[in-house]
Amino acid sequence: MPHVVVKLVPGKSEEQKSRLAAAIVKDVMATLGYDEGAVSVALEEVPREDWAEKVYKNEIRAHWKQLYKEPGYNPFQ
């Protein structure tokens, strides 16, 4: 039962967020073989000024070995 959480800075429209969630569900179904009802997607908006501390430091850098796609920059540099 995959649950995907996407963190992003505010500013995307509801249509963009809905399309992203639908694309994620579609890809999870195709790649992992789950039915649509088994997949859930949440989008959490994090203000840009909080991104480095709340997301990069606590979720990306702290769990680096779990990443399948690393970010292309370090906001602390």
pLDDT tier, 4 (very low <50, low <70, confident <90, very high otherwise):
very high
Which residues are designated catalytic? 2
C-alpha angle 53/19/43, rounded to 5°? Answer: 25
Given the candidates 3.40.50.1580, 3.90.1300.10, 3.40.50.150, 3.30.429.10, the CATH classification of the domain at 1-45 is 3.30.429.10
Q: Which residue has the higher pLDDT, 76 or 66?
A: 66
Contact 73, 37 (CB under 8 A): no
Residue 16: per-residue pLDDT: 98
pLDDT tier, 74 (very low <50, low <70, confident <90, very high otherwise):
confident
pLDDT higher than threshold 90 for residue 75: no
Residue 22: per-residue pLDDT: 98
**34-60 residue pLDDT tens:** 999 999 999 999 999 999 999 999 999
